[in-house]
Amino acid sequence: MLTGKKILLCVTGGIAVYKAAALTSKLTQAGADVKVILSDSAAKFVAPLTFQALSRNDVYTDTFDEKDSKVIAHIDLADWADLILVAPATANVIGKLANGIADNMITTTLLAATSPIWIAPAMNVHMYSHPAVQKNIETLYSFGCRFIEPSEGYLACGYVGKGRLEEPEKITETISLFFSKPKQDLAGRKVVITAGPTREKIDPVRYITNHSSGKMGYAIAEEAVAAGAEVTLISGPVSIKAPDGVKLINIESAEEMYHAAMEEYENANIVIKTAAVSDYRPKVCFSQKMKKQPGDEVLELERTKDILFELGQKKKGQILIGFAAETERVDVYAKGKLKKKNADMIVANNVTSEGAGFGTDTNIVTLFKKDGTSEELPLMSKKDVAAKILQEAAILLKDEQK
């Protein structure tokens, strides 16, 4: 899977450095050409010679140690790589990268990089959950970096929790999947995506909503643009920036999303409904703020329009893909939804699973298709899930047009 791929592995200091040695071996065995940069701290855990022997390449440790006088090492390495992986990534290097600090060989090289950057954190559970670290991760995510989230387990410090560097086999598998996924050509195709939550007003102050962050839908929109599609993104209120190149339609309520989706549907080739649309809304929306009264209050609700169902009834060759966010009996509900809504595929997940809930940068989904087949995907970044969904959508569209 990785034959001929050039991987630059940046190793920063922590006890998980020993796993980076195993990772170097796994990547090399998979056919990758691996070059390693070690931070000073990492070199105190495992000697550079170990990585040199495993990668069969020179190991870089010092910005000013130019091994080839014809090039500037950190620029040359940044240009050379097909993918740059920081593993393990300490809180320190994450903070430096998020703030543009370049004070060693690794950070200087990363600042000059234009290839994809993947970051695999490893640290104490409390360090990982610290607001500063989480903010830095969000910043790097907004820059386009991808994260291989740490797993849970026994940590070297004695704690049990999230902070273990993901296993080398899993990281190698994830990278292999990234390079092996087909690039879809959607030039000339119109893709409509709904994303985020809806808000159903109770009064001028309060509303009913849900935990959807919009990340999954926005990832699909970004991937669809990259594949050359004309993309319309119908979005509920979210805090993330829309990808460049999309036609963005901002909505708030389920009714507004319904009308926007219907208006865009006729000329669409592929419609992907990731939005978490409210099933109910207050029957009465008060024009003034409801004041507290003694005793309990009953809020009467009425059904909103079932957008996926309505789209399914009006299908004229469009590929229609829906999402099912469940907490139990995922396969039963997803298969039922697939048939009832006349969809071509349902992307289902259990939102209570670690790494698959609202607001995460990863997802664990199963694809249920109209032909009765299904495919379980492992824990993946939402960008990789998005690419897989578009791959399947392109295949379904091709079959539909035969």
Residues marked active site are found at: 157
Q: Are 97 and 10 in contact (CB under 8 A)?
A: no
Distance, in Å, from the CA atom of 348 to the CA atom of 330, rounded to the nearest integer, reads 7
Burial class (CB in 10 A: 0-12, 13-18, 19+), 202: middle
Asked whether residue 337 is marked as a ligand-binding residue, the answer is yes
H or E stretch covering 29 = helix 17-29
The string of DSSP letters for 158-183 reads S-EEEEEPPPHHHHHHHHHHHHHSPP
Which ranges in 30-124 belong to alpha helices (H)?
40-45, 48-55, 73-80, 91-98, 105-111
Is residue 388 marked as binding?
no
Q: Distance (Å, rounded) from C-alpha 19 to C-alpha 245?
A: 40
Residue 235: name the closest of 193, 189, 280, 278 by CA: 193
Tokens of 231: 């993309």
Q: Which residue has the tokens 């791929």?
A: 5
Question: DSSP 3-state assignment of 142?
Answer: helix
Cα separation, 5 vs 377, in Å, equals: 24
- The reply, when asked if residue 178 is annotated as ligand binding, is no
143 is in an annotated binding site: no
Please indicate if the annotation marks 135 as binding a ligand: no
Distance CA 117, CA 78 (A): 10
Q: What single DSSP character describes residue 348?
A: E
Give every CB contact of residue 354 below 8 A, 6+ residues apart in sequence: 152
In the annotated binding site for CTP, the residues are 279, 289, 323, 337, 341
In the annotated binding site, the residues are 279, 289, 323, 337, 341
